[in-house]
Amino acid sequence: MTSSWRLTCIACGRPAEPPASAGTCPSCGDPFAILDVQFDLDRAAATMTRDALARRSLNHWRYAELLPVEPDPAARTWPVGWTPILDAPRLAFWAGCGTLRLKDEGCNPTASFKDRASSVGVVHALARGATRIACASTGNAASSLAGYAAMAGLPATIFVPWRAPEPKLTQLLIYGADVRRVRGTYAQAYELCSAECTRHGWYNRNCAINPYLVEGKKTCGLEIAEQTAADAPDWVVVSVGDGCTIAGIAKGLIEMHKIGFLSRVPRVLGVQAAGVDPVARAFEAGELPRDCSGQTIADSIDVPVPRNWRKAVHYVRATHGTFVRASDDEIRDAMKSAGRLAGIFAEPAAAAAIAGVRRAVTQQVIERDASVLAVVTGSGLKDIRTAMTIAGAPTEVEPLGACTST
């Protein structure tokens, strides 16, 4: 099984040759003109049938016709994807919508959605003969890359911002990565990583500019389409940072509609933290705001300069979707409610999607009888300190037979 694909610019639409190192469009010169992988969907539809998929492994490599890489036999065993979709009726009542399902990406091997992209990135890096792979990350992409680089025996260097949570740093250090903690923001870590990749010739895993990694993220949308084909949701809700995740999921839904797996495309709702909302603003204004510095407890979506905003806006519009914002208090409430009403332990960025469902119902963006699926992008164990501030303390009791004074 092989795919047939080409690269085009998301801004000007011109075709582009596969870059020696992933980057932006060589024609229009726009720093946010990210390349997009376009597939021959007629060719994909001929072999990626329901019967064919029923015989394939339950991981994201099952969608070979819609991926720009060919994994080796060892990589094919990596258990990425095919994460469960859970019904959450009590959480639906809390959010105010008709039905609510949760796709739990915390079930991936390194406990986040980012495994979909990192596995594709490592395979692509090896195919290009890379001797080292690098990325900048607020935490999840870093630990994910470190894990898959370790599986493949590929050295990894990772740049993290100063605020990256300790549990995420610990995870990627255990995987043996060369970790460089930047005394600055995610944007500064990103700039340093890009400069070092150019300087040393490292493979740049940064999903914000690497078109191949978005295709890995796309497999979540492909899965949602296959798993819910008989009862597709009205809305798919995704938290948004750099824009790569929502772009990939929306693209996957669109492609599955075009090849016949879905009778209609669910609308895609992006949720940004109210304190850091540049993609939502770009969706509304048509351009990126000059200044979007702020703060949020959701470190994974704390991205004031989103490199992939054009692709995010493009694919959300293509589904007739939109954006909402969730405050930190709403995110905290969603973390607690997801745990107590659905048994899901979500990190803040993942809980932002759930908070966004409730916010969208309140704003009459999502109808009260709508069916909704929210993507829970990472486990709450990724940011245990935030969870501890929300959870409260246990009740202290004496053991049986303990002596008490009278």
Model confidence pLDDT, tens digit, residues 106-156: 999 999 999 999 999 999 999 999 999 999 887 788 889 999 999 999 999
pLDDT at 22 over 60: no
pLDDT at 187 over 90: no
Structure token digits, residue 118: 């990192």
Mean pLDDT calculated for residue range 349-355: 98
**Domain 85-111+212-391, architecture per CATH:** 3-Layer(aba) Sandwich (3.40)
Q: Model confidence at 218, in pLDDT bands (50, 70, 90)?
A: very high
List of residues 6+ apart from 75 with CB closer than 8 A? 61, 119, 122, 123, 152
**48 vs 20, higher pLDDT:** 48
- How is the chain split into domains, by residue range? 85-111+212-391
Q: How far apart are CA 406 and CA 389, in angstroms?
A: 37
Q: Model confidence at 69, in pLDDT bands (50, 70, 90)?
A: very high
Q: Model confidence at 19, in pLDDT bands (50, 70, 90)?
A: low
pLDDT at 242 over 60: yes
Query: What residues form DSSP beta bridges with 37?
Result: 7
Mean pLDDT calculated for residue range 97-103: 99
Model confidence pLDDT, tens digit, residues 282-306: 999 998 888 777 899 998 999 898 9
